[in-house]
Amino acid sequence: MRGVVVAGTASGVGKTVTTLAVCRALEREGYAVQPAKAGPDFIDPSHHAAVVGKPSLTLDPWLEGEDGMRRTYARGEGDICVVEGMMGLYDGDTSTARVAALLDLPVVLVADARAGMQSVAATAYGFRTYADRMGIEADVAGVIASRAHGGRHAEGIRDALPEELPYLGRIPPSDDLEIPERHLGLHLGDEAPLSDEALDAAADGIRADALAEVARKPEWNTEEFEAGIRAESSQATDSDGPTVAVARDEAFCFVYPSTLDRLESLGTASYFSPVAGDDLPDCDGVYLPGGYPERFAAELASSTTLPALADRAADGLPVFGECGGLMALTESLTTTDGDTHEMAGILPADVTMRERYQALDHVELRATDGTLTADAGETLRGHEFHYSSADPATDARFAFDVERGTGIDGREGLTEYRTLGTYAHVHPESGAFDRFVSRLAD
């Protein structure tokens, strides 16, 4: 599968809208598109899925390892993979430039053209040459001008670009192309999708065939490598494997598609909605992903699902909650309005929402004892981004020491019975979900 990375000169230049317009433009030209996201984000991929109609791949070398990230890429299906970058091209120690270099994919640079013409070309040229200074093999191979008018404005940018940096189109300035934001990022794709009319208008400005020519197949993605991935994917689901009940609704919506695929390949995933008050399915274990439990705290507090889950957890049912899942497993959740709602009461802590984020980083955890997702002494990599703080009881037990990141008072993984709750999100390429499922038979 060929691919291209859509990267920005900075955060806020319109990468997500540009990525969606590129996907729409390529599809209109008959290309099958596989969307993807560099980094650990859950929200941008929801917009990809809303437009393309298939799950977006997560490509993050910290979460997955370099080989794991490449395996994730190779599992994609389509003619061209369109990877949305994170922040500015060179920002962060796990930057978009590094992801593009490790995947051997060309970069299409999104430059904000609201107040520039020739200077947009100068900026793009600087980003191309800066790769050598950084020692990163990032191939900036084309430019899309964001918030650029047509006519003389677009022509001035196009004519100023050097031959080695082709002009691949523009995104017009339009209020219809603005996606609302809240804490943790943009609204989700199914909450605030761009209208088809606005997206089609944006796609009209993309030179789809020229962009398709820029896309290339990575050299590492050989026929032998792809054959191995196909053989792995063709293995039948273990119908005799354990059943994992997975919370899926507006409160528990941050889950990597690869996680669900892995759980379904290791056994059976049975979905339920705590917000709707669904009965807990017959299962061998429970997984509560992250999301927005604070937005649905009243519904969760009044539902019969969390008390039933607490009873089963006290009986020894393994339960794993990540971030929002952790919050739902604690004693109480207090919103920014000051309203306190009872949660499941399994983990000995109270959670309070804050006005600004409390943690945002890739994390590395070391298990102090064997737990649901790691053996004693083993390290586990993940990502944390949350606006809440947890106040654990003085006798609370933790499963991990934090070697990088914030966690909960420098520790991580509240544990009680056979329940584990972490602020950290992990990817299945870490092996965490394989270990979780293996523990269900213990």
Q: What is the three-state SS of the chain?
A: CEEEEEEECCCCCCHHHHHHHHHHHHHHCCCCEEEEEECCCCHHHHHHHHHHCCCCEEECHHHHHHHHHHHHHHCCCCCEEEEEEEEECCCCCCCHHHHHHHHCCCEEEEEECCCCCHHHHHHHHHHHHHHHHHCCCCCEEEEEEECCCCCHHHHHHHHHCCCCCCEEEEECCCHHHCCCEECCEECCCCCCCCCHHHHHHHHCCECHHHHHHHCECCCCCCHHHHHHHHHHHHCCCCCCCCEEEEECECCECECCHHHHHHHHHHCEEEEECCCCCCCCCCCCEEEECECCHHHHHHHHHHCCHHHHHHHHHHCCCCEEEECHHHHHHCCEEECCCCCEEECCCCCCEEEEECCCCCEEEEEEEEECCCCCCCCCCCEEEEEEEECEEEEECCCCEEEEEEEECCCECCEEEEEECCEEEECCECCHHHCHHHHHHHHCCC
With both helix axes pointing from N to C terminus, report the angle between 196-203 and 15-28 in degrees, rounded to the nearest 10.
Answer: 80
Q: Which two tokens stand for residue 402?
A: 């934090």
From the list 438, 440, 436, 379, the residue with the least C-alpha distance to 412 is 379
- Which residue in 81, 253, 283, 323 is the catalytic one? 323
CA gap 295, 291 in Å, rounded: 9
Does 283 participate in catalysis according to the annotation?
no
Contacts of 320 by beta carbon, 8 Å cutoff, 6+ apart: 285, 286, 287, 288, 372, 373, 419, 420, 421, 436
Q: Show which residues are catalytic.
A: 323
